[in-house]
Amino acid sequence: MCGIIGYIGYRNAVPVLMQGLEQLEYRGYDSAGIACYDHKKADFILVKEKGKLAALREKVGDFCFDAHVGIGHTRWATHGEPSRVNAHPHTDASERIALVHNGIIENYDTLKKELQRKKIRFVSQTDTEVGVQLIGRQYGKTPQKDLFEAAKEAIPKIHGYFAFALLSKDHPETLIAYKRSNPLVIGIGQGENFVASDVTALLPYTRQVVYLEDDDLAVVTRKDVRVFSLKSHSWVRRSPVTVHWNISQARKQGYPHFMLKEMHEQPEVLKNILKKRITKKEDIFFDTLPRGFPGRLKQIEQVYMVSCGTAHHAGLVGSLAIEQYTRLPCRTQVSSEFRYGNPILSRKDLVVLITQSGETADTLAALREAKAKGAATLAVVNVVGSTIAREADAVIYTHAGPEIGVASTKAYIAQLATLLLLAFYLGKLRKKIQTSQLKRLIKDFKKIPDQCSKVLKEGKRFEACAKKYFSRRNFLYLGRGYNYPTALEGALKLKEISYAHAHGYAAGEMKHGPIALIDHEQPVICIAPDSPTYDKMISNIQEIKARDGIVVAIGSQGDQNLEKIADDLFMIPKTIEVFSPILTVIPLQFLAYRVAVLNGRDVDQPRNLAKSVTVE
């Protein structure tokens, strides 16, 4: 990941590529690079840099290009830390092919070992290099060094979801592009054509685009675009369409806000996590745990979940799951309290640090405190190569992808999924979960992405509810068990982006204070899916109704009790309690989003908030 741009035509390729990369900056990245074919030198010029585009632009300025074809990339690290060596483009061993790549090559380790046995030497830590080396080896076998034929033969051997753009120095009049599950679009110009992962990068030059479909292999020249389907093994016609969006709209892929776009990406995020973490034998695999660390985990006697904000709510869910499935005591603390609380720690303790950015100041300080006291430290982080990821003893990446909206949605879902998998993994490791039980859990977990999609389709119903209550200034959120953290998260989302006052409580605490606030003005959001405490939640709801309160309920499909007593009701598909927070939070995200929009708030950039809190 994260952004691809390619150009072939009559212009100087370098400014086109650099402008395209600038248009892709919003997706987030940690390094960038370009590869161009210089016609005077009859060779590639490859320029890569860690950090922002300014660093790449400065480096590019050191070269004189006579190039009319090239590819570029902004990288969000998934395999290998952010560095110049790991940045794209990558070349094959002969340095005759350059490739940029978005997505994940799932069988990269197997392919890499096969290629190493054939004396192919790798220079980076990336899965991307495996792709170009595999295609490069096939390229050497083809008559006239045909890049299209090489790609056509090699790509079916690659498992995963990805997009490629390739360039050969033997045939610089052609670009090759391939799509599988990751977006790739061709821009159609006059005497020039473009390749990009995002329409945004094309709009300064053309509004005529061809959207590639899965398993499309495109041959792109100055004059035309031909598409071969690896599914049908035939040449196919893909008709161009006219894009009417502006650049801002294109970045959001037609959604009015990044937050809404990212909410709709949640099912795919979950699918990607499950693909990456669950083996064919239905076991759980964390590829980033160092050798010896699982052995240390077997000796752990207590777990701490340490985090801030939304990540803290994910930690609360993870804590419940760890206690249920490992029978280890698990404490959850806010990072700022943990670091100043002089925690009693030893080598028998595991401290799990949860952070989207991997740079949160208080969580970083908590990590250093835990390490100083000898505890094992495990980071659950989205941003590869971030400070916390580097300093922890071990790291598990959530792979949610870049999240632009300040209010976290898909990163939270990814944290939930990762922590639940961690709980199951520890349970199996410590022999508290039998293989048969783990298989049942995994079977249920694999249903969750599609169930998320079903909940997301209820958007119009969420909007209708928001229209009833958007002018209210106070909201109360109640939940029990695994959905008490969901109540906290729902309240936080509403506060963050609508600026309404909202408070999350454990429903069992209602009579210890919050019941005094119940009246006909304040909506009470009650999270009541199937669970061991369901009857208790129904009692809470009846108490609210007896005091003329407004109940917005979230329950399991077919719940007739809630249908009778709730003022507004949102149903989620039935699942076991441990997975329910992934589903119940989606209506709360929607409610917060719609209330904020109806109040005219800046949803993606709410006042006074930052995406990454890097100061105390």
C-alpha distances (whole Å) from 379 to each of 307, 360, 374, 436, 540 are: 10, 12, 15, 29, 37
3-state secondary structure of 234: strand
- Catalytic, 275? Answer no
φ/ψ of 96, rounded to 5, equals: -105, -10
> Within 10 A of 237 (CB to CB), how many other CB atoms are there?
7
Question: Which residues, at least 6 apart from 424, have a Cβ–Cβ distance to it below 8 Å?
Answer: 284, 321, 325, 433, 438, 441, 442
Question: Which residues, at least 6 apart from 319, have a Cβ–Cβ distance to it below 8 Å?
Answer: 303, 305, 330, 331, 332
The amino acid sitting at 206 is T
Give the integer Cα–Cα distance in Å for 504 and 514: 10
- Catalytic, 2? Answer yes
C-alpha distances (whole Å) from 7 to each of 91, 175, 398 are: 18, 8, 33
Give the integer Cα–Cα distance in Å for 484 and 529: 12
> Within 10 A of 231 (CB to CB), how many other CB atoms are there?
11
| Residue-by-residue DSSP string for 59-90 | HHTTS---EEEEEEEEE--SSS-SSTTTSSPE
Give the integer Cα–Cα distance in Å for 202 and 196: 7
Question: Which residues, at least 6 apart from 194, have a Cβ–Cβ distance to it below 8 Å?
Answer: 5, 6, 7, 8, 16, 20, 186, 187, 201, 202, 205, 206
Of the residues 371, 439, 446, 611, which is catalytic? 611
Question: Which residues, at least 6 apart from 12, have a Cβ–Cβ distance to it below 8 Å?
Answer: 65, 67, 68
H or E segment at 13?
A: helix 13-23
Report whether 501 contacts 474 (CB < 8 A): yes
Give the integer Cα–Cα distance in Å for 489 and 34: 41
What residues act catalytically? Answer: 2, 611
